[in-house]
Every structure is written in structure tokens, then in C-alpha cells.
Amino acid sequence: MKIIIINGPNLNLLGRRENNIYGDETFNDFFERLQKKYANQEVSYFQSNIEGELIDKIQEVGYKFDGIILNAAAYTHTSVGIADAVKAITTPVVEVHISNTFSREDFRHKSYISPNAKGVIVGFGLQSYELALQSFLKKSQE
């Protein structure tokens, strides 16, 4: 299957950023492990701190790929533009968060993306991404 992980702002700092919340591993190290483990799948990765670039990427892959694993980070809670892009495309989107956003500040409880996501995986650390990937692979076996 052709799956892309799209990460939003500040997720390039994983491993250095608020380690008590987001853990010690860099995303690149995690992604390398993931790619090795699922070597028979086509899993790619894109990160941007810029809202418009995230929208461009969602549009670019959104009619071609089998699945998008999206952590829009802070834009989850603010971006109507990203929500509209998710709504516009035909590729299913699984929304993920590393931390349990519901156990954090109130402003993190609202997601503009969730209503149009296929599903939401929240709070399992970097494993959230793997669980999202497995949800797509399981679907393809049904």
C-alpha cells in the first residue's frame, strides 16, 4: 500500500522538544525503524511548519495514495484550511497525536480534522503512527 505520514509544525523537533510529553526519539530514527519493519509497504514521510505546504501536500497525494496518517500538530486546533483539504480529497485520513490531547489544555481538545478523519489515534507516543499504519493494512486484508 502507498501510505504517507504528514507531520505539522514543530514535529521536526521531536527528540529535543518537551521530552516529558513527546519522548526522546527523533522522528527520523522512528521512521527508519518503521520503514524497515514494514519494508513491503510504500511508506513515505513529509513534514512542514507551514500551513499552506501541508495543504499542498494533502492535495498532491489526496487522490493517489491509499492512506494519509496526519499529525497536523498545533494546526489541528486552528486550521479550517487543513480541515477543508482533508474533506476535499478521496484518500482516507487517520488523524494521530503523540500525546493524549484530551488530558492537556482545553484548547487541545478541539480538532477541526476529526470530523472528516476516518479515525483518530491519540496518546500512544510514536506508536500512534504505527497503529494508524496497521489500521490501513488491516483494512486492505479484509
- Active site residue ranges: 22, 97
Report yes or no: 122 and 114 within 8 Å, Cβ to Cβ: no
Q: Are the CB atoms for 112 and 76 separated by under 8 Å? A: yes
Residue 111 binds ligand DQA (CB under 6 A): no
Distance between CA atoms of 4 and 45, rounded to whole angstroms?
Answer: 6
Residue 98 binds to ligand DQA (criterion: CB under 6 A): yes
Determine which residue in the list 6, 101, 121, 130 makes contact with ligand DQA, applying CB under 6 A.
101
**Residue 119 · residue 92 · CB < 8 Å:** no
127 lies in the site for ligand DQA, by CB under 6 A: no
**Residue 99 contacts ligand DQA per CB under 6 A:** yes
State yes or no: residue 12 binds ligand DQA (CB under 6 A).
no
| Piece of 56-64, 97-105, 112-120, 131-139 that binds ligand DQA (CB under 6 A) | 97-105
SS3 4: strand
Residue with cell 505520514: 5
What are the residues binding ligand DQA (CB under 6 A)?
10, 71, 73-74, 76, 97-99, 101, 108
